[in-house]
């Protein structure tokens, strides 16, 4: 945000100052690889589908337990029993996503203010989704199919569709699917809006009453994507949101 100030007193007004830039605090987050689906390879802010991910983990687990190796004195059951004092402690937080919930969440909760981030996805992905979810989202739950998640969903498998989803309800979006999607979340006002990141065209807005903090949420099947965090809310998006909050829009029908 750029602005100029001018000093004044009772006698005469002063000159304008040089332009001053004021920036709001950017929303920084990473992707939580510890709870992502095993078929998702997470590296920093990039995610790639890995069809062998879960199988590799299973093989490693069997080898660690001695099930994938021939019996020997070193790997005998008697030698593999661990002392209770050395048992690994359970990982804190939520469970890892599994089954057909090819999901990964951000690692930073949103419980106040307005925030913005962008995501570029591989157009050859068979399915992709972006939105927000409560941390309580179940490990089998798919984005947009529960009351605790909101998303835009792109399906390139068999039949192409671009929809807004929440609570197992879907609305077909009659817009061109952009290469990069911008996500705007205003927690207190309950706005979750999606934009074409290049043109700032509004794709869809959910009007929700968030009862818990939310996390950035993503899903990909047979594809990949990259997230851009630490972004300021674009001025064009902020202006459109002010206009959107003052009017009633049909794009909020799934909230």
Token pair 């399906």 is at which residue? 155
User: How many CB atoms neighbour CB 127 within 10 A?
Assistant: 18
For 182-193, the pLDDT digits (tens) are 999 999 999 999
Torsion 166-169-173-179 (CA) sign? positive
User: How many CB atoms neighbour CB 167 within 10 A?
Assistant: 14
pLDDT at 35: 93
The domain total for the chain is: 1
pLDDT at 65: 55
73 located within any domain? no
72 located within any domain? no
139 located within any domain? yes
pLDDT at 64: 54
Under 8 Å CB-to-CB from 72, ≥6 apart: which residues? none
2 located within any domain? no
For 83-126, the pLDDT digits (tens) are 223 223 223 456 899 999 999 999 999 999 999 999 999 999 99
165 located within any domain? yes
Residues of the chain with pLDDT under 70: 1-24, 54-94, 247-255
| CATH number assigned to the domain comprising residue 158 | 2.60.120.920
pLDDT at 255: 58
pLDDT at 151: 98
pLDDT at 113: 96
209 located within any domain? yes
Torsion 78-83-86-88 (CA) sign? positive
7 located within any domain? no
Burial of residue 11, with CB atoms counted within 10 A of its CB: 0-12 exposed, 13-18 middle, 19 or more buried: exposed
For 169-181, the pLDDT digits (tens) are 999 999 999 999 9
Residues of the domain holding 204: 26-65+92-252
User: Is 142 within 8 Å of 131 (Cβ atoms)?
Assistant: no
pTM of the model: 0.77
17 located within any domain? no
């Amino acid at each position: 945000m750029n602005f100029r100030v001018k000093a004044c007193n009772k006698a005469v007004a002063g000159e304008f100052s040089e332009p001053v830039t004021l920036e709001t605090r950017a929303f920084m987050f990473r992707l939580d690889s510890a709870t992502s689906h095993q078929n998702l390879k997470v590296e920093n802010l990039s995610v790639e589908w890995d069809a062998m991910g879960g199988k590799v983990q299973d093989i490693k687990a069997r080898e660690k337990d001695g099930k994938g190796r021939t019996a020997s004195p070193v790997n005998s059951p008697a030698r593999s029993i661990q002392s209770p004092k050395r048992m690994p402690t359970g990982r804190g937080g939520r469970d890892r996503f599994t089954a057909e919930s090819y999901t990964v969440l951000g690692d930073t909760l949103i419980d106040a203010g307005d925030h913005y981030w962008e995501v570029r996805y591989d157009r050859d992905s068979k399915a992709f989704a972006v939105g927000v979810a409560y941390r309580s989202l179940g490990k089998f739950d798919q984005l947009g199919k529960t009351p605790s998640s909101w998303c835009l969903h792109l399906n390139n498998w068999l039949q192409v569709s671009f929809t807004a989803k929440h609570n197992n309800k879907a609305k077909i979006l009659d817009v061109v699917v952009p290469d990069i999607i911008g996500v705007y979340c205003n927690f207190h006002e309950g706005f979750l809006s999606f934009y074409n990141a290049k043109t700032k065209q509004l794709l869809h807005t959910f009007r929700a009453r968030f009862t818990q903090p939310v996390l950035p949420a993503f899903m990909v099947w047979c594809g990949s994507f990259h997230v851009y965090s630490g972004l300021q809310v674009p001025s064009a998006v902020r202006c459109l949101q002010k206009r959107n909050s003052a009017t009633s829009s049909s794009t909020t029908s799934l909230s």
